[in-house]
Chains A and B, each alone.
Chain A
Amino acid sequence: GQQVMQIPQYQHVQEGEDFTTYCNSSTTLSNIQWYKQRPGGHPVFLIQLVKSGEVKKQKRLTFQFGEAKKNSSLHITATQTTDVGTYFCAGPRDYKLSFGAGTTVTVRA
């Protein structure tokens, strides 16, 4: 079945630094979604990428969908304490979303 893998599992970042989390699927995806889960919270949709090679930006967050539509990345610039949480990529297949294991981000001031 479809598997979505995500690295790194943990990212400890100095405030102001950049980091990237990567997502890989075992199968070609129709689209990929990214969600953020704050500590103790629920997943909240961030963005959906549909086209091969697509790049979308949300302020300091840059999302990219690979040319083969099997991988994706999230790059955060100038990390802030508000970026703390777990970022999940999710690949849809029919009526289900397969989530990656997530990258848990902590920020040191």
Chain B
Amino acid sequence: EPEVTQTPSHQVTQMGQEVILRCVPISNHLYFYWYRQILGQKVEFLVSFYNNEISEKSEIFDDQFSVERPDGSNFTLKIRSTKLEDSAMYFCASNFAGRSYNEQFFGPGTRLTVL
């Protein structure tokens, strides 16, 4: 069964450093998402992406964040200058029909630890 994959599984970085989190969505999916989950808290929407542009973003997704689909398979989340409060699990998700009207398939997540 097709799966969303994410790398790395765990990323440790120093405050102020840039990180890039990588995702490979399911191949025939058209809509891509990033969510984050601070330990013990709910899953929070960051951004959705379709047709090589951002469809929607939350207030969390400020100028320090960017997303990119550099090729036909990868979908990346970049944090330019990490802060301590960016420490969280970051989930990538994808689906075919978009507009959140169909189930989203989540990847296993990348745990980001900012020191």
Contacts and interface: CB of A to CB of B under 8 A. Distances in A.
Interface of A: 30-31, 33, 35, 37, 41-45, 48, 88, 90, 92-102
Pick the most buried of A30, A33, A37, A42: most chain B CB atoms within 10 A of its CB: A42
Contacts of A44: 106
Contact of B100 (A41, A42, A43, A97): A97
A99 B41 CA distance: 10
Interface of B: 31, 33, 35, 41-45, 48, 50, 55-56, 58, 91, 98-109
A48 B103 contact: yes
B103 A98 contact: no
Given A42-B107, A42-B109, A88-B43, A94 B99 contact: yes
5 contacts: A30-B101, A31-B101, A42-B91, A92-B101, A93-B100
Nearest to B56: A95
Nearest to B41: A101
Given A42-B109, A92-B99, A97 B104 contact: yes
Given A31-B101, A96-B100, A43 B42 contact: no
A95 B34 CA distance: 11
Contacts of B45: 96-99
B89 to A, nearest CB: 8
A101 B42 contact: yes
Nearest to B111: A40
A99 B91 CA distance: 13
A92 B33 CA distance: 13
A102 B100 contact: no
Nearest to B44: A99
A96 B91 contact: no
Nearest to A91: B100
Contacts of B33: 95-97
